[in-house]
Amino acid sequence: MKTRQKIRRAAAIASTAAFPVTLYYFSPLLSLTGLATGVVTGSLAMFGLLFLASLALGRAFCGWACPAGAVQELVRGFKGRAVNRRGIRWIKWVIWAPWLLGLVLMTVRAGGVHDVNLAWMTWHGVSVTDAAGVIALVSVTVLMGGLALVVGRRAACHAACWMAPFMILGRKLRNLFGWPSLQLAASATDCSSCGACTKSCPMSIEVQSLVVRGRAESSDCILCASCADNCPQGALRLTFRSGH
């Protein structure tokens, strides 16, 4: 395993271990309950930060620091088959759109935002401190890991993640203007069509077909660099640059 992937693996384990602390900072439910009383919670602030970060880093958070994604990758060794991305990725938008509308309605109903409490519903910033927290943690972990086992690699990222749309939209905005960002650079002339990049992709992206076209850009890409680190010809590299 390449050094970069060892670091990513270690980051995945660390983010999973920290999940009992960070759980509520990724909760869509707490964002709703907070705005119902006019309070901006830590989770809502987190979603905003993820959108802003995606303007320069794309979905790198998903590949390097997301605990839900890490849980799925840790079970990949048991069943790592590819998923039909196009068949399931629309589901997350069906989840996200009503939730986003709910945020707006709750804000209007509360008469606007009155307070910012980043530690909302936590104990000194720690999420899981009671039975309800344990149940929530176990439920989310089972959902994420279960989908990965039953459906395939990072299935929950494609179908059930409420955070991904923020970063996908941020990435599309970045691509529209072409300012400097983290991205994969592809060289079609160096590609030997061995398929190692596609096989190693945790998001089941047909990477080789993108390399052949000379542009390794996909809304599902989490910039984990697994494809680049497994390419024997060096046809892919992770870089920070402007343009496409």
pLDDT tens track for 16-32: 999 999 999 999 999 99
Can you give the pLDDT at residue 74?
85
The percentage of the chain sitting over the pLDDT mark of 90, rounded to a whole number, equals 93
* pLDDT digit string, tens, across residues 47-56: 999 999 999 9
pLDDT of 34 strictly over 90 = yes
> Which of 14 and 81 is assigned the larger pLDDT?
14
> Which of 166 and 80 is assigned the larger pLDDT?
166
Can you give the pLDDT at residue 77?
64
Q: C-alpha 165: how far from its chain's center?
A: 9
Exposed, middle or buried: residue 57 (CB in 10 Å: 0-12, 13-18, 19+)?
A: buried
d(CA 203, CA 226): 10
Mean pLDDT of 183-204: 95
Report how far apart, in Å, the C-alpha atoms of 229 and of each of 44, 118, 161, 201, 210 are: 34, 37, 26, 10, 16
Under the banding of pLDDT at 50, 70 and 90, the label for residue 2 is: confident
d(CA 81, CA 228): 20
For residue 24 the two structure tokens come to: 């509520």
- H or E stretch including 89? none
Residue 83, SS3 per DSSP: coil
d(CA 214, CA 235): 10
Report how far apart, in Å, the C-alpha atoms of 84 and of each of 36, 78, 113, 226 are: 37, 18, 41, 19
Can you give the pLDDT at residue 1?
59
d(CA 28, CA 14): 22
pTM: predicted TM-score of the whole model, two decimal places: 0.94
Using CA of residue 73, residue 64, residue 156, residue 13, what is the dihedral sign?
Answer: positive
* pLDDT digit string, tens, across residues 220-242: 999 999 999 999 999 999 999 98
Lowest mean pLDDT among 78-82, 85-89, 185-189, 202-206: 78-82
For residue 23 the two structure tokens come to: 């759980």
Under the banding of pLDDT at 50, 70 and 90, the label for residue 75 is: confident
Can you give the pLDDT at residue 81?
85
Query: Which long-range contacts (C-beta less than 8 Å, at least 24 apart) are formed by 209-213?
Result: 210/186, 211/186, 211/187, 211/235, 211/236, 212/188, 213/186, 213/188
Can you give the pLDDT at residue 26?
97
Can you give the pLDDT at residue 243?
73
